[in-house]
Amino acid sequence: MEQNNLLNSWDAFTGGVLKAQDVRSDKDEYIIIQLSHDEQDGRTKLVLTLERNKVQKQFYLNATNTKILRDKTKTPQELVGKVITFSKMKVNNPQTGAVQDSLVIDSVK
User: How far is the C-alpha of 68 from the C-alpha of 97, rounded, in Å?
Assistant: 25
Helix (H) or strand (E) holding 36: strand 30-40
Of 107, 52, 62, 58, the C-alpha closest to 85 is 107
* pLDDT string in tens for the chain (109-residue length): 445 666 666 666 666 899 999 999 999 999 999 999 998 888 888 999 999 999 999 999 999 999 999 999 999 999 999 999 999 999 888 888 899 999 999 999 9
Q: What is the per-residue pLDDT for 93?
A: 83
**Which residue range forms the structural domain that includes residue 52?**
5-108
Q: What is the per-residue pLDDT for 11?
A: 61
User: How far is the C-alpha of 18 from the C-alpha of 58, rounded, in Å?
Assistant: 6
- Please give the tally of structural domains in the chain: 1
User: How far is the C-alpha of 22 from the C-alpha of 29, rounded, in Å?
Assistant: 12
Q: What is the per-residue pLDDT for 94?
A: 80
